[in-house]
Chains A and B, each alone.
Chain A
Amino acid sequence: MDVKQHEINFRYDEITKDILRTLEKPGLPYWIMIALIMGGLAFGIVAWMYQIKEGMGVAGLNHPVGWGVYITDFVFWVGIGHAGTLISAILFLFRAKWRNAIFRSAEAMTIFAVLTAALFPLIHVGRVWVAWWLIPYPNQRELWVNFRSPLLWDVFAINTYFSVSAIFFCIGLIPDVAAIRDKARGMRKTIYTFMSLGFDNSNHQWRHYMAGYGFFAALATPLVLSVHSVVSWDFAVSIVPGWHSTLFAPYFVAGAVFSGMAMVMTILIPFRSIFKLEKYLTTWHFDMMSRLVMLTGSIVTYSYLTEYFIAWYSDDPFEMFIFYERAFGKYQLPFMLMFGCNCVIPLLLWFRGIRTNLKALWVITIFVNIGMWFERFNIIVSSLAQEFDPYSWGWYVPSWVEMGITLGSFCWFFMWFFLFIKFFPSLALTEMKEIADPPHSGKGHSAHGKEAA
């Protein structure tokens, strides 16, 4: 898909000025937000410390429900971390020009979401002080890890994904950081100088840069698919009814993109209006993202239906029971939230009018986020609660500690995002210029624009 020229309503020379305006000294609202975020984060940290001191019993977890909100949060955040790399790498390779305006913030979001997700394996283990035993390292006691365990695959998947995404993010930043470097002073200048790796906009450098960026995009692309597949195997490889399914990898990847795109929109819609970037982030961009949400939402819905079909087709009493119970049993509420938010509400996106109505879109994307959180909750908790032995069925309700840590995780995520807004351009300067009308030679502004780039 190519850029529709009528959507480009900004001038080449405004780009640098408008976008770098987001990096200016923050105002009072920003500080209030930061204060709220830090407060929530502090609460989460206190809750976690309390849990470490007392034991996992302060969470609502029990026998048989050994995983609850923490793993839900983990999968949720890994899922959120999918949109960024998808947009920056896969759409880059497909040359979808609409990605240019959004990929930077989406990519930042990815990294912060993975940073958040990576906390949860630590939070949920009983003995966090020995969590490093999950890393295979040579030692004289010849203790080794179990490479058959999906949890170990997780460790590798998350680490790889995080490293590659972070490097890809930094590489994408190079030309923009170079531009800020030229305007910054003091400490900032030193940091930006380091991060720009001596980029000076020469043709030579641009040629290598673009090639390198392409390679990284190609490297990151399979990871987008692999990381959530691996996460899904935490469940699929087990024998728990409701988890044990070969459908899980594609189903989880689609769900991850679904929730990730929704989160990108949830964040960008207010961002766009606060920083007055309507020129750059147009309804056209949101329309495109909505279409992706529609697509992945449909895949997710199809997966739900497939799960039910397979449960029926399997003729396995345990499998049939668990799917029946999800819809009609004690855990009906999370199921209804999941189904309503992920399958029914996104149907509204079939209307172009709604896709271009940003307020409606914002509400819908929040519903999708809620729905996707409950999807994971539903999968994890309802399956564990009613496994094979009816005598040991259980009932799980999250405790304040789990809710506090979940709140803290959101604050942790937004802390990074708020810092990012003020330290890096949230829209890629260079890529915006790629799609803007190049300045006509001889006109006064062109020289200025060139210089800025």
Chain B
Amino acid sequence: MANKINRRDFLGLMGLGGVGAATLSCDLSPTDYEEGFDEKWKPWVDPIAGEVPYVPRYYATTTSESNGVGLWIKTINGRAVKTEGNPEHPINRGSLSARQQSVMQGLYSPDRIRKPLYKGKPITRARAAEILTEQMNANKGKNISALTGPIGGSLADLWTTFVSQMGSGSLVRYEAFHSGEWAGASNKVFGQNAVPYINLAGTDMILSLGARFLDDWGDGNAHERNWAKMKELDHGKRGRHVQVEPRTSVTGAAADSLLLCKPGTETVLALALLKELAAGSSALTAEEQSTVAGLVASASLDDAAKTCGIKVAKLRTLIDELKHAKSPVVLPAETTVLGHQSQAHHIAVLLINKCLGGIGKHFNYSAAKPAKDVISHRDIVDLVTQLNNGAVDVLILRGGPNPAYSLSPKLKFKDAVGKAGFKIAFADTMDETVALADLVIPNLHDLEAWGEVNPYAGLDMLQQPVMRPRWDMMQAEDHLIQILAQAAPGIVAQENYREYLKASWFGRFASGSADQEAFWRYSLKKGGRFEMAESGENLPLSGDLGGDVFANVQPMGSKGTKLIVLSSARHGDGQAAPRGWMQELPDPMNGVTWDSFLEVNRTYGTSAGWQIGDEVSFSVNGVEVTLPVMLSDTCPDGVVYFETGMGREGIDERYCRGVNAFSMFTGEVNDGGRFAFEPANVTLNKTGGRTKLATLHIPGLGDQLNTPLTGTDKTDSRFTRDLFQTVGISELSGHGDGHHGGGHHGPLNKKVAFPEHQDKNFYYDRSEDPLVVGRSETFYDPYKWEMAIDLDKCTGCGSCVTACYAENNLPVVGKDQVAKGREMAWLRINRYLSYTEEEDHTEVKAYFLPMMCQQCGNAPCESVCPSLATYHNKEGLNAMVYNRCVGTRYCANNCSYKVRRFNWFTFDWDEDAKWYTNPDVTVRHKGVMEKCTFCVHRFRDARNKAKDEGREIRDGEVQTACQQVCATGAISFGNYMDESSEVHHLAHDQRAYRALDSHLYTKPGVSYLKRTVFDKGHA
């Protein structure tokens, strides 16, 4: 065979580094597809000149699914192994959410399409090309429509060109969750048809009416970072975050105060707030004030308070605080609780921010997403209508968005697609939509292909291949260019999409540049063009605020239990559901893995006679749904909560589980351009069935943690533990006399002398200690690695957990094993609840504590290991020698923090999953204990480098994997012996404490900084 790719060449090329090598990837000729198909990958055997094996290379890129954040893909020996954040990227600055990291599992997914399929049967690549050409020739000039994801820039140009040149069809872009409602609202308020870049930087007060900006709303990475910055204490003061929402979310748990409102009343509240804030606002002109006053004339704070179920006094305090804040931001509710009031709500929120002076600084229209890139769900509804009319001759589906899964069944999308003359899908992964196509042509994964992502003006990200394609295939856009070359010669000058992208890039950004090639390389290396405007103009109210914009605002639904559906931070629109990391990452509030569940108030559920896992059925929007219940103390009575992303079908069967939340949608599009869903009244009936929910803790058993919290003395002493601690801001030094108004924050151990944490000589007094004879003050010289975790900044999102899975080759064990308590997470997020008796209700608060090996200086695990498989090393680490472990599990029993994990089996890895294991870390087999060692392999590298340069490792030179992805910067890591290091500084912060140390004298190497709480009297 002429073009057969020799395995040796294949592997050799795979290993080639650099952009040049990456560009080779799309130069494969599309012939002879059968060859190289089932080629098994082999490790890199033959050396390549200039390449050092196992030295990682990083490529800056992005993917269409990762919310427009910049990625750095770590590749080793020519293959991608880990997703890391691009530190230069303006939105994520090196951080990544759990879902963004799971891109790697998408790349090596068992659902990747390897061969072209015709009517479901594999065919050769040559045959596929033939059919494609045939169909295109036959249908040229007719309606050839394309359905793609939210593509922009040169991708959108190419697809638009293709569709318009080939016939009378249209390009439809679809995404289940988008922020299009801002465009309509902005048009009405400011006359700007664009989605503003919401920037929380510099704020000192955030009021969210429901937006879960710390878990899955907008540019979460940036929001988390700016929120954390807001919470930093400066001379005993910091900003405040107030969350109004119907059900406690991660964002609500992280808020300084959480005001639970009745679902569907957010817009009423927004109008009342607008009325109060607009009156006398200095940010509005007199004319604007009267306009706004006219719009909200009928609103009343007292009525709104009653409707929402929030005390009016609270709201008044809140308004007062907003007025006095220097730079407050008000964020809207989630679209899925707004139904048809979405646009009104967003208008109200924009107006509130206008009143508060936040337009320009926090709502930046100079870095907005332009109208042409804004998606509306009306487009896909139109497409369905066209399809039903038989108007579409050829439908081309570009993989990624999965409308067959994420559209309401009422739209009958599958039937409609069936009415198209011929369906072609270019897709990298099999899903419900791709399965509808007559001809499926395998596409490259985003990490193997060229592309572009353009979320905001001034932010244009390049997507480049980071490794040679997994299988011999061509990217969809190259197919388009080839077809165009035949059908409409001369329209596209370039031979392939890479050239097309390059030309487009030059045309847009480097028209005057002398050395275009250098600029191209610079852009690739950087990850794109990051030139967003810092802030925009404070726009006047120049839109079309007719008197009826708030006409349809009223509380939704009648009284009774209401179902709310929100997007899942783990599974998103379902694309991340078939990924082990996401399935095994517990839901932060409930700890549930591997299943969808209905969150129900515990009191309500218990009184109805339900237990966790009992199935209930209910009917919503005409759909009958059966779900297991998860009883929760944080979910208020009157609300049941469900999230999207589960219930996938037709994929790897391990991930086909749960119920599809989109099936409950009506299919109507609201005036914000999104599928409307509003809190729906439901009646739950127990079916008698049961699903065992696999949770990471025993629900209801470990919840009752009562830490000494400010203002609480009513703790059940049986559960009193000081793992999680809080401190009143007024009690921190420099404020107040230190003890008034607060509860008891010291160690609970009343009788035993309390080892002084803040003691400068914390680690120097060891020679006196009979247990550690021989560890003199110089024992740790020059390094003692320590970590500090700021509980004020931790949101409990779990991205560190996933980072740990990725970095340390932790196996995904599956639902049955999780249910038995055998998940392998070295780092887990402990969730504790605290109950405070208020006048008329019990306030339940959720707290999150990341718990990993504490690297104790006096480790209980070390002394009991009979074979010395775990020992204390000279750098303060509790080292673990897997090879030496016999597996007595005594260390795990004696670990007070329960952070050691035992390999109960030799856990299976998918065939492809082996390619993203980290070669710096072993893959353990059955019978061996394992645990966190602060990513020890990372600083071994750094130490070697420092040694070569004749210096010590600098502070900040080494980051642990968990620290690296944390968007809020809650985790700090460094050398405690270096007195100038951040971690040394934080360990001596007045908020620092070491978990359980006062009880056990374990001398942990992790300092936690107490979560700060405001005194009562705030909103």
Contacts and interface: CB of A to CB of B under 8 A. Distances in A.
A72 to B, nearest CB: 14
B889 A316 contact: no
A390 interface: yes
Interface residues of A, number: 54
A126 B902 contact: yes
Nearest to B927: A126
B701 A330 contact: yes
Contact of A389 (B723, B892, B902, B904): B723
Contacts of B721: 317-318, 388-390
A146 B868 CA distance: 5
Contacts of A449: none
Interface in A242-284: none
Interface in B719-749: 719-721, 723, 748-749
Nearest to B899: A392
A64 to B, nearest CB: 5
B750 A315 contact: yes
B905 A57 contact: yes
A271 to B, nearest CB: 37
Interface stretch (B131-139, B384-392, B495-503, B702-710): B702-710
Interface stretch (A84-92, A128-136, A302-310): A128-136
A392 B888 contact: no
Given A61-B904, A63-B898, A317-B717, A149 B864 contact: yes
A133 B894 CA distance: 21
A238 to B, nearest CB: 5
Contact of B865 (A65, A144, A146, A155): A146
A12 interface: no
A234 B897 CA distance: 19
A317 B996 CA distance: 12
Interface in B863-913: 863-868, 884-890, 892-894, 896-898, 901-906
Given A55-B903, A146-B865, A315-B751, A62 B893 contact: no
B830 interface: yes
Most buried by B among A54, A125, A126: A126
A392 B898 contact: yes
A124 interface: yes
Contact of B902 (A66, A131, A152): A66
A66 B697 contact: no
Nearest to B748: A317
A120 B659 CA distance: 46
B860 interface: yes
B704 A145 contact: no
A391 interface: yes
A324 B718 contact: yes
Contacts of A316: 749, 999
A199 interface: no
A67 B893 contact: yes
B718 A321 contact: yes
A149 B890 contact: yes
Interface residues of B, number: 62
A148 interface: yes
Contacts of A384: 893
Contacts of B309: none
Query: Which of B698, B817, B822 lies at the interface centre, i.e. has the most chain A CB atoms within 10 A of its CB?
Result: B698
B868 A145 contact: yes
A394 B901 CA distance: 14
B324 interface: no
Interface in A100-128: 121, 124-127
Interface string B919-938: 00000001111000000000
Interface string A127-169: 1001101100000000111101111100100000000000000
Interface in B659-682: none
A104 to B, nearest CB: 35
Contacts of B751: 315
Contacts of A63: 821-823, 892, 898, 901-902
Contacts of B889: 61, 66-67, 124, 126
Nearest to A388: B896
A61 B318 CA distance: 51
A151 B861 CA distance: 12
Contacts of B823: 63
B893 A145 contact: no
B1000 interface: yes
Contacts of B750: 315
B822 A391 contact: no
A393 B721 CA distance: 13
B893 A238 contact: yes
Interface string A52-84: 001111001111111100000000000000000
B820 interface: yes
B156 interface: no
A295 interface: no
B994 to A, nearest CB: 13
Interface string A353-364: 000000000000
B851 interface: yes
A166 to B, nearest CB: 24
B885 A127 contact: yes
A390 B897 contact: no
A126 B898 contact: no
Interface in A376-400: 384, 387-395
A322 to B, nearest CB: 10
B896 A387 contact: yes
B697 A57 contact: no
A390 B832 contact: yes
A64 B821 contact: yes
A452 interface: no
A240 B893 contact: yes
A237 interface: yes
B868 A144 contact: yes
A125 B888 contact: yes
Contact of A391 (B851, B886, B890, B892): B851
A28 interface: no
A320 interface: yes
Given A56-B927, A151-B888, A238-B893, A393 B701 contact: yes
7 contacts: A63-B901, A63-B902, A64-B821, A126-B887, A390-B702, A390-B719, A391-B696
Interface of B: 696-698, 701-705, 717-721, 723, 748-751, 817, 820-823, 828, 830-832, 849, 851, 860, 863-868, 884-890, 892-894, 896-898, 901-906, 926-929, 996, 999-1000
Given A56-B927, A63-B901, A317-B748, 11 more contacts: A55-B927, A64-B821, A66-B892, A126-B926, A127-B885, A143-B868, A151-B864, A239-B1000, A384-B893, A391-B831, A392-B898
